[in-house]
C-alpha cells in the first residue's frame, strides 16, 4: 500500500487483512516471486440498487516497483476477474486515481472502459 502512496506499517496491514479474513464479499490475492510479494489485488462484491445482480469492484491493485513491466498486474486482474465469475458477478468497476496513468492503460488494455468520474471527500 505504501507504493500506492498510502504509507502503511506491517502491523496496520495485518490488522486490515484480519478484518477482511473470512468475509465472503472480499478477497485478496498476492503474487509471490522468489519468496517476495510481487503484487496484490483486492476485490469486493456488493448488492446493487441499479441491477438485480451483485456488482464487483477492484479496490486495490499494486505491483512492487521491482516487478513492474512483467505482466503481473494483468495476471492479478485476471485472478480477480476469476473470483468475480466464481461468485456470480458479471459487472466490475475500478476507480484508479487520476494520476495513475499506467493503471489506466492497463485497464483499457484488459477491456475496461472509461465510464465515469469520481469525487472524493475526506470526512476526518
For the segment 104-123, the average pLDDT, to the nearest whole number, is 87
Per-residue model confidence (pLDDT) at position 101: 82
d(CA 100, CA 119): 16
Average pLDDT, the chain: 90
Architecture of domain 2-109: 3-Layer(aba) Sandwich (3.40)
Q: Are the CB atoms for 112 and 58 separated by under 8 Å? A: no
What predicted TM-score, i.e. pTM, was given to this entire model? Answer: 0.86
Q: What is the pLDDT of residue 47?
A: 93
pLDDT in tens, 52-86: 889 999 999 999 888 888 999 999 999 999 999 99
The count of other CB atoms within 10 Å of the CB of residue 6 is 11
- State the pLDDT at residue 44: 97
Q: Would you place residue 118 in the very low, low, confident or very high pLDDT band (cuts 50, 70, 90)?
A: confident
Instruction: Determine how β-strand 36-46 pairs with β-strand 55-63.
Output: antiparallel
Amino acid at each position: 500500500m505504501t507504493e500506492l502512496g498510502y504509507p502503511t506499517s506491517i502491523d496496520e496491514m495485518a490488522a486490515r487483512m484480519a478484518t477482511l479474513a473470512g468475509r465472503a464479499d472480499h478477497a485478496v490475492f498476492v503474487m509471490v516471486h522468489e519468496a517476495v510479494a510481487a503484487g496484490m489485488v483486492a476485490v469486493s462484491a456488493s448488492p446493487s440498487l441499479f441491477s438485480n445482480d451483485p456488482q464487483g469492484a477492484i479496490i486495490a491493485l499494486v505491483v512492487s516497483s521491482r516487478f513492474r513491466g512483467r505482466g503481473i498486474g494483468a495476471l492479478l486482474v485476471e485472478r480477480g476477474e476469476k473470483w468475480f465469475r466464481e461468485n456470480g458477478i458479471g459487472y466490475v468497476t475500478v476507480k484508479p486515481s487520476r494520476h495513475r496513468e499506467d493503471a489506466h492503460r492497463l485497464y483499457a488494455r484488459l477491456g475496461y472502459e472509461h465510464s465515469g468520474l469520481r469525487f472524493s471527500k475526506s470526512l476526518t
